[in-house]
Structure 1
Amino acid sequence: MASLNVGNLGEYLREQRRNAQLSLRQLADAAGVSNPYLSQIERGLRKPSAEVLQQVAKALRISAETLYVQAGILDERDRDEVETRAAVLADPTINERQKQVLLQIYESFRKENGFESGPTDKPREDTTDDGPRTADGSAATTEPSP
């Protein structure tokens, strides 16, 4: 049987479960999965579906995206974005509405700075032609000739 390479996910889940001070059985019950199945995930023997990861993330009150990256479902292309979102979502000192507002502001700043959320998460290329540019990229001004 080929290695599933999900050991890092299992270790990460175990660490998150312990940080949440939950037993394996408590987390399995909260996530709606069987205790043996969750144990196999933690030991790196099973690769869970995105749906199971989402249920576990909800039970742990962490970002599902973080688990998707750990499981290899999402590329590490925007690990910083995922970690930022996870930190906001995991903060127990702010309520859900405040978390969503913070994430909306974060996303608007990313868009303003030329980053779109998506599969490549690269800066947008400016496709508008605003005329000539100077060496530093700013718009060149043209004066009408006399």
Structure 2
Amino acid sequence: MSAKSTNSDEGERESSGAAAGASDLAARVVSSAAHDIGGFIRAQREAAQVSMRQLAQLAGVSNPYLSQIERGLRKPSADVLAQIAKGLRVSSEVLYVQAGYLEQRPHSPIRDAVLADTSISERQKQVLLEIYDSFCRENDSTRPAAVAQSAAPTTIPDSDLPEGEQHDR
């Protein structure tokens, strides 16, 4: 066997090892996220003094499935998280952030008020917060331009000035 084929065999083994390492890392991240959300759900359930059987019934999932979620063996879908949130009477956004489906957002009085409002559904809260966030992003993106415009000296074209105030050129 030539040295060239030996080197290519080693390269293939290294690249397959790197791919295996990357997939192992991905599996550990998913497992960690599932374990974190499961522990969080268990803590919320215990704080609310709700049994696993009661929460499973409220969330519309089986008792064994909820047990697997809490032990970190399964990572629930966003729909299942929403059902669990409803059963625990917590914001589904809290569970989505904990599970890694959403990014942590900064707290604000507006956000806290919307999340605390019991007269609207979780879906309505989510839509309101998305609209609010879009307004905030829009204002942040236009703010530097608005500040630059306000800092620039304002010039009024001669044609817009009254006749007695027009400049001689």
Task: Name the TM-score class by shorter chain.
Answer: 0.5 to 0.7
Aligned partner letter, 2:101: I
- Superposition pairs for residues 1-146 of structure 1, below 5 Å? 2-3=27-28, 4-5=31-32, 6-76=34-104, 78=105, 80-81=106-107, 85=111, 88-89=114-115, 91=116, 95-96=118-119, 108=132, 111=135, 114-115=136-137, 124-126=140-142, 133=148, 138=151, 140-143=153-156, 146=167
Give the TM-score normalised by the residue count of structure 1. Answer: 0.64
Give the superposition deviation at 1:13: 0.5
Give the superposition deviation at 1:86: 6.5
Give the TM-score normalised by the residue count of structure 2. Answer: 0.57
- Cα distance in 2 for residues equivalent to 1:86 and 1:43: 30
Aligned-pair identity (%): 46
Query: Following superposition, which runs of at least 4 residues in structure 1 exceed 3 angstroms of deviation?
Result: 84-89, 107-110, 137-140
- Cα distance in 2 for residues equivalent to 1:9 and 1:42: 7
How many aligned positions are there? 126
Choose 1 or 2 for highest CA Rg.
2
- Cα distance in 2 for residues equivalent to 1:21 and 1:66: 19
Partner of 1:120: none
**Residues 133, 140 of structure 1: 8 Å contact kept:** no
Give the superposition deviation at 1:39: 0.9
* Change in CA separation of 1:36 and 1:109 when aligned onto 2, cut-off 3 Å: closer
Give the superposition deviation at 1:95: 4.2
Q: Which runs of 5+ in 2 are unaligned?
A: 1-23, 159-166
Q: Which runs of 5+ in 1 are unaligned?
A: 117-122
Give the superposition deviation at 1:133: 3.2
Structure with greater proportional helix content: 2
**Residues 9, 44 of structure 1: 8 Å contact kept:** yes
**Residues 53, 68 of structure 1: 8 Å contact kept:** yes
- Cα distance in 2 for residues equivalent to 1:86 and 1:35: 32
Partner of 1:119: none
- Indicate the SS of the match to 1:115: helix
Aligned partner letter, 1:141: T
- Indicate the SS of the match to 1:73: coil
Q: What is the root-mean-square deviation in Å for CA atoms of aligned residues?
A: 3.8
